Amino acid sequence: MAELSSSGTAPLAPAPASLRLIWRRLRRNWLSAAALAVIVLMAFAATLAVWVAPYEPDATDADAALQAPVLHHLLGTDIYGRDLLSRIVYAGQVDLAVAFGATALALLIGCSIGVVAGLYRGVIDLVIMRCVDSVMAFPAFILAMAITAALGNSVGNVLIAIAITQIPNYLRLIRGEIFRIREMEYADAARVVGNPAWRIMFIHLLPNALPPIIVQATLAMGYALLTMASLSFIGLGIQPPQSEWGSMTAEGAQYIVTGEWWLFLFPGVAIVLMVLSFNLIGDSLRDFLDPRMRGVR
């Protein structure tokens, strides 16, 4: 087999691709399309919650308390008769905003410091990298927990905490890319022609570093959502009456022993769906943008 594939002289004839291959590509794209649809749908629903949600998130209805899913309460109601679907849609605002904000913040700070470390090298790089090592010496969730606890219990602090745990990813990526470009011959060649160093850097850095950063950021959205939900599940960040998927799950947990399953189940389903979608898109983006990584996962 190795023999066959190594014979570079055998061109891949434009033969009718087998059904299997077509199916494989279709399935892959179908999955990504579905994932994208889930994200777009959720983002729209959360943004337009005022118009989309069937009920006010805080509208109580004593007659419909602890209602199992029915037609006019698709996902059921809680002990105050609040509509679970509406609450999940509204909660999506907080979840998506924090995940997006944390990812953007981490990306911005991580890339900036990464460029500094890569360009200045020497002592500055050394100090920065020791800091990165120290941050990475904590399991991400534990560090986020500690930072939130120290800064104080608020949504903004959760955002900052999640961002801090993700900064090293971008920082190392950019720094590595700069180091790689420095080694390359075309950078030398460009220098000979008289291009200033920073210009060479940015001309080559962007196209090379952008694809892995986009992939990283997509996957990071999933992580950020999980961290956010876990933090508020253990009581950090979200203050009632504001609600979020993790804190809703925590509230719902109390009703397991009495069998009101929808209260913990559906907020969790929202988290799983969103994280799954971001991961799937991240994976196919990786396949698409970064052929080197193909088949690794």
Find the shortest distance in angstroms from Cβ 198 to another protein. 30
The residue (of 93 and 277) whose beta carbon lies closer to another protein is 277
Q: Is 108 in the site for another protein (CB under 8 A)?
A: no
CB of 138 to another protein, least distance (A): 5
Question: Which 259-278 residues touch another protein, going by CB under 8 A?
Answer: 259, 261, 264-265, 268, 271-272, 275-276
Binding mask 233-262 for another protein (x = CB under 8 A): xxxx---------x--xx-xx--xx-x-x-
Nearest CB to another protein, comparing residues 94 and 145: 145
Nearer to another protein, 76 or 246 (CB): 246
Residue 106 near another protein by CB under 8 A? no
Q: Which residues contact 276 (CB under 8 A, 6 or more apart)?
A: 35, 222
**Binding residues for another protein, total number by CB under 8 A:** 64
Asked if 62 interacts with another protein (CB under 8 A), we say no
Q: Is the CB of 168 or the CB of 201 nearer to another protein?
A: 168
Residues in region 6-45 near another protein by CB under 8 A: 6-7, 9-13, 15-18, 20-21
Q: Which is nearer to another protein, 55 or 237 (CB)?
A: 237
Q: How far is the CB of 182 from another protein (least distance, A)?
A: 23
The strand pairing partners of 286, in sequence order, are none
CA distance 282 to 297: 11
Are the C-beta atoms of 157 and 151 separated by less than 8 Å? yes
Work out whether 229 is an interface residue with another protein (CB under 8 A).
yes
The answer to whether residue 210 forms part of the interface with another protein (CB under 8 A) is no
Cα maximum dimension of the chain: 80
**Should residue 138 be labelled a site residue for another protein when binding is judged by CB under 8 A?**
yes
Which residues of this chain interact with another protein, rule CB under 8 A? 1-4, 6-7, 9-13, 15-18, 20-21, 130-131, 133-135, 137-143, 145-147, 149-152, 222, 226, 229-230, 233-236, 246, 249-250, 252-253, 256-257, 259, 261, 264-265, 268, 271-272, 275-276, 279-280, 296-297
